[in-house]
Structure 1
Amino acid sequence: MNNHEIDYKIHGDDMQFVEVELDPQETVVAEAGALMMMEDHIEMETIFGDGSGSGGGLFGKIMGAGKRVLTGESLFMTTFTNTGSGKRHVSFASPYPGKIIPMDLSEHSGKIICQKDAFLAAAKGVSVGIEFQRKLGTGFFGGEGFIMQKLEGDGLAFVHAGGTIIEKKLQPGESLRVDTGCLVAMTHDIDYSIETVKGVKTALFGGEGLFFATLRGPGTVWIQSLPFSRLASRVFASAPQMPGSSSKGEGSVAGGLFDLLGGK
């Protein structure tokens, strides 16, 4: 194993956090802001990139950090190292309701492709890079963008997603069509493409968007029931309107009657 061999335990149900157990001198790397709590003798350090050691020198670190900017993430990541003589624990929390998925990269040919905001933490040595979708249709109409995160190595990585998560194994030639926002992660051998919704009425009035993702096996995919973008749009639509807005009563029947009666 080139990566640090960490132990872990996931706590909670809908608002989960992962507790990582570190032996002396073991290190875990996490997204900036993911820390929940840590015990004494855990040393925290902010670094460029993922700290995997690939790329070599300052230029390599800057290039690694620059790639993270393309995925919308911070330039920096944070490492947590056990500098004590016994086992210590550090915990990381997911940023919104959902599940944390532990992934042993050694069981998936050393590579997982995930949505750009899915990565939470990993054993030191796991490389967090970017994966460009090869097809232009996927890039321009993929809903979640054509730049995805790429996790490489032979250690543990933790990915978070919204709602309930289902893992599906696709056989050779088997396909699955999903909403573009519901795809969390997939193994590198999955063929990923974007298809248009057939039928003008379905496309315009179906409420599901104009495109969906088609995943073809063999390989494994992870699907989430509640993408954060869907949750955010519902919250925004239900939020109180600012003063002067034409919307009254939060879209309720009472609000509609208020408008009909000439309410200001």
Structure 2
Amino acid sequence: MKSTIAGTTMPILELTLDSGERIVAEGGDVAWMSPGFGLDTSTVHGTGGQGGFMSGLKRVLGGAQLFLTEYTAPDRGGLLAFAAQLPGTIRQLDIDAADTFMVQQGSFTASTADVEVSLGLQKRLGAGIFGGAGVVFQKLAGSGTAWVQLAGEITEYDLPAGQSMLIHPGHLALFEGTMELEFTSIKGIKNKFFGDSLFLAEIHGPGRIWLQSMSPAKLAAAIEPYLPDRSSTSSNT
């Protein structure tokens, strides 16, 4: 299998598969592909624990779909392409039995068949954080390769043991699953979004973190004033 990430602000992930190789993705996420692929949509995939109905429910809680689609390359091989949904970057993660990664909800793009995608962490915060929906991280485990979409520019930090960092939850894109994460309220910061406090994620080393300059929630808030007013449109019909 060969992977290529092309483009700049809206990258494309191209996967070239040999005969019989398999890729798992959420249904409908493939942008284009060569003909001849075998498709199998199910809650169960691979030997690495993708599956079962309960694992599917955990994926739903993590912001993913209940069903995953497994693409099997034909005898002559084939190409699958995935397009980024937001301006940003696509990163490749090599996972083995000793590795787990926590990635922000909606970032999972595709993986080899033996990578398990499940709910890793769910925390409800104040009304100003993600519209009160809280923060959700998906857990990537098993053995294989996964690709994730991260928003905006990415800055990486290696935190040694005993060191921590305070981060707005929307900017914490990805971190190693062995790291301790907790949420703290910073008093005295008042505005229309956060009420009387600001919630920050405090993550503790050792481990690596990936921080994104853009959060999906902030992007949505930035473009909201330019969207059509649905309420006025419906009242005029």
- The SS at the match of 2:52 is helix
- Maintained 8 Å contact 2:139/2:177: no
**Counterparts in 2 of 1:104-123, with a 5 A limit?**
104-106=94-96, 109-123=98-112
CA-to-aligned-CA distance 1:237-259 (integer Å, 9 cap, x gap): 333445759xxxxxxxxxxxxxx
Gaps of 5+ in 1: 1-5, 134-138, 246-264
**Greater share of residues in strand:** 2
Check whether the contact 2:63–2:136 (CA below 8 A) recurs between aligned residues: no
**Equivalent in the alignment of 1:222:** 210
Q: Give the equivalent residue in structure 1 for 2:59.
A: 68
Q: CA deviation at 1:81?
A: 0.8
**Separation (CA, whole Å) in 1 of partners of 2:89 and 2:136:** 23
- Verify the 8 A CA contact 1:34 1:94 in the aligned structure 2: no
The equivalent residue for 1:148 is 137
Please state if 1:237 is matched with 2:225: yes
Q: Which amino acid aligns with 1:141?
A: L
C-alpha displacement at 1:53, in angstroms?
Answer: 3.4
Aligned partners of 2:48 and 2:92: how far apart in 1? 23
5+ unaligned residues in a row in structure 2: which ranges? none
Give the Å deviation of 1:225: 0.8
TM-score (norm 2): 0.85
Q: Per-residue displacement from partner, 1:76-119 (whole Å, max 9, x unpaired)?
A: 1111111213x42211112122111111113x932111112110
Mapped to 1, the partners of 2:37 and 2:20 lie a distance apart of 10
Change (3 A) 1:147 1:52: farther
Equivalent AA in structure 1 for residue 82 of structure 2: F
What pairs with 1:1-264 in structure 2 (closer than 5 Å)? Answer: 6-49=1-44, 51-53=45-47, 61-85=52-76, 87-106=77-96, 109-132=98-121, 139-141=123-125, 143=129, 145=134, 147-199=136-188, 202-204=189-191, 210-241=198-229
Task: Return the alpha-carbon distance in structure 1 between the equivalents of residues 43 and 120 of structure 2.
Answer: 19
- Note closer, same or farther for the CA distance 1:187–1:20 as it changes in structure 2 (3 Å cut): same
1:47 Cα shift? 1.7
Larger gyration radius, structure 1 or structure 2: 1
RMSD: 2.5
**2:105, 2:137 within 8 Å by CA — same for their partners in 1?**
yes
- Alpha carbons of 1:244 and 1:31: their partners in 2 closer, same or farther (altered >3 Å)? closer
Query: CA offsets per residue over residues 194-221 of structure 1, 9 Å max, x none?
Result: 111232xx23379797111111110011
Supply the distance in 2 between the matched residues of 1:122 and 1:205 (Cα, whole angstroms): 40
